[in-house]
């Protein structure tokens, strides 16, 4: 048998990688960037990240960490100082009572969710995911060998998932239910009563409830709430949190999990052989974010509210476009279904591609989130950009 040479060696990617796809939000960012670098003036509504700088006190803590040589390995699951800061802030804001043994620190909220699914999902386990969903959920579940069970929601009910719809999908193999409130991409905030009923169902049936609290501070009405604050739910609720959006720290890559100690231990094992610790200096900055002044959060929220109140009426005034009003997060999720099947566009993906190519506005197609008739517009960008981009979208739509 001849030995394969570099020229004859066939590149076979592992099956578990073939089971997942590239994050579509990242693909949109790359497409928009390519166009921009070729000299085109692109308005970018694709990026799901705050346009505000990281607050100065947090930046200073990162700089101080470098100057004080806090630049070496830390414990793989995060420093005790940061875990203490996480549990203390969660306790202060939501009335929870986690100990540091129930907390782990990962490289962003996405990594927390990845680690939790890898630590808990066995091949064939079912995971219930309400649609529209954040892109990453289905891929991390598939990567673990799990089966995604999608639960439809209705646009006329503001995309809020009902316990009845979830219950219909529960089987003996159901291991986990994902809830993301406020939601990316729809901005939906699950009514508290419904959330609690979903939790009760999970407790009764021995199913984990993974609550993605990424946008918990960006709520336009009422105060932030954590389902983990209910009594006797620690064995059911898995909190996935992050400092990325709350403190405008997307690039620092710090997220946290609040989970039973045995699960934190399982994640630690995985993390100790993959990333090891999250970046030391970013951990110091996150401590400052959680312990320092919190005034940047309401300031950002006020700005998002102003933008939402500008964006939604502009969208709904466009012919054929409908849009639910987001109650949280910073995304609008308009329905552009009236234009599908027209002008050669069969899907929201094609709509988004043409919008980028012809009107130079980057949005994420609804297919990425499990619904075919929508596009996601991030309004975490300046009023000037919103005005320019919405003018372009309107002109594009009127041309169809």
Residues that bind ligand PLP (CB under 6 A): 48, 108-110, 134, 180, 184, 212, 214, 242, 244, 250, 255
Nearer to ligand PLP (CB atom), residue 216 or residue 335: 216
Closest among 102, 43, 96, 355 to 216, alpha carbons compared? 96
* Distance in Å, CB of 130 to ligand PLP, minimum: 12
Nearer to ligand PLP (CB atom), residue 360 or residue 376: 376
Nearer to ligand PLP (CB atom), residue 136 or residue 339: 136
* Distance in Å, CB of 184 to ligand PLP, minimum: 4
* Distance in Å, CB of 395 to ligand PLP, minimum: 29
* Distance in Å, CB of 111 to ligand PLP, minimum: 6
* Distance in Å, CB of 114 to ligand PLP, minimum: 9
Q: Which tokens belong to 338?
A: 């009236």
* Distance in Å, CB of 8 to ligand PLP, minimum: 40
Nearer to ligand PLP (CB atom), residue 237 or residue 345: 237
Nearer to ligand PLP (CB atom), residue 108 or residue 366: 108
- CA-CA distance, 308 to 329, in Å (whole number)? 10
Question: Closest CB to ligand PLP belongs to which residue?
Answer: 108
Nearer to ligand PLP (CB atom), residue 180 or residue 236: 180
* Distance in Å, CB of 20 to ligand PLP, minimum: 16
Q: Are 356 and 35 in contact (CB under 8 A)?
A: yes
Nearer to ligand PLP (CB atom), residue 77 or residue 109: 109
Nearer to ligand PLP (CB atom), residue 90 or residue 314: 90
Q: Is 381 left (phi over 0), alpha (psi -120 to 50) or beta?
A: beta
* Distance in Å, CB of 254 to ligand PLP, minimum: 7
Nearer to ligand PLP (CB atom), residue 212 or residue 288: 212
Closest among 109, 74, 114, 310 to 217, alpha carbons compared? 109
* Distance in Å, CB of 212 to ligand PLP, minimum: 5
């Amino acid at each position: 048998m001849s030995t394969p040479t570099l020229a004859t060696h066939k590149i076979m990617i592992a099956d578990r990688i073939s089971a997942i796809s590239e994050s579509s939000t990242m693909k949109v960012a790359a497409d928009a960037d390519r166009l921009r670098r070729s000299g085109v003036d692109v308005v970018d509504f694709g990026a799901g990240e705050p346009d505000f700088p990281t607050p100065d006190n947090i930046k200073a803590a990162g700089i101080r960490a470098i100057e004080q040589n806090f630049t070496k390995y830390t414990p793989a699951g995060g420093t005790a100082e940061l875990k203490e800061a996480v549990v203390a802030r969660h306790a202060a804001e939501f009335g929870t009572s986690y100990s540091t043994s129930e907390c782990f620190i990962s490289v962003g909220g996405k990594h927390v969710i990845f680690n939790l699914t890898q630590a808990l999902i066995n091949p064939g386990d079912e995971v219930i995911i309400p649609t529209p969903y954040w892109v990453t959920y289905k891929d991390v579940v598939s990567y673990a060998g799990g089966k995604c069970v999608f639960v439809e929601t209705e646009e006329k009910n503001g995309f809020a998932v009902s316990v009845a719809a979830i219950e219909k999908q529960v089987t003996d193999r159901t291991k986990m239910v994902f809830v993301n409130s406020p939601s990316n991409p729809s901005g939906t905030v699950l009514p508290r009563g419904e959330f609690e009923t979903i939790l009760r169902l999970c407790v009764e049936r021995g199913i984990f409830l993974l609550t993605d609290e990424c946008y918990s501070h960006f709520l336009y009405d009422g105060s932030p709430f954590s389902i983990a604050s209910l009594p006797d739910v620690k064995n059911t609720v898995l909190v996935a949190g992050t400092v990325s959006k709350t403190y405008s720290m997307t690039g620092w890559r710090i997220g946290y999990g609040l989970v039973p100690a045995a699960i934190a231990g399982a994640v630690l094992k995985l993390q100790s052989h993959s990333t090891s610790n999250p970046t030391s200096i970013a951990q110091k900055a996150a401590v400052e974010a959680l312990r320092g002044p919190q005034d940047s959060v309401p300031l950002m929220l006020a700005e998002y509210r102003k933008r939402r109140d500008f964006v939604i009426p502009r969208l709904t005034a466009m012919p054929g476009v409908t849009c639910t009003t987001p109650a949280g997060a910073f995304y609008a999720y308009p329905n552009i279904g009236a234009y599908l099947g027209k002008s050669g566009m069969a899907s929201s993906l094609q709509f988004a591609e043409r919008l980028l190519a012809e009107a130079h506005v980057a949005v994420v197609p609804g297919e990425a989130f499990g619904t075919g008739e929508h596009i996601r517009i991030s309004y975490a960008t300046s009023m000037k950009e919103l005005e320019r981009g919405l003018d372009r979208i309107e002109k594009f739509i009127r041309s169809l």
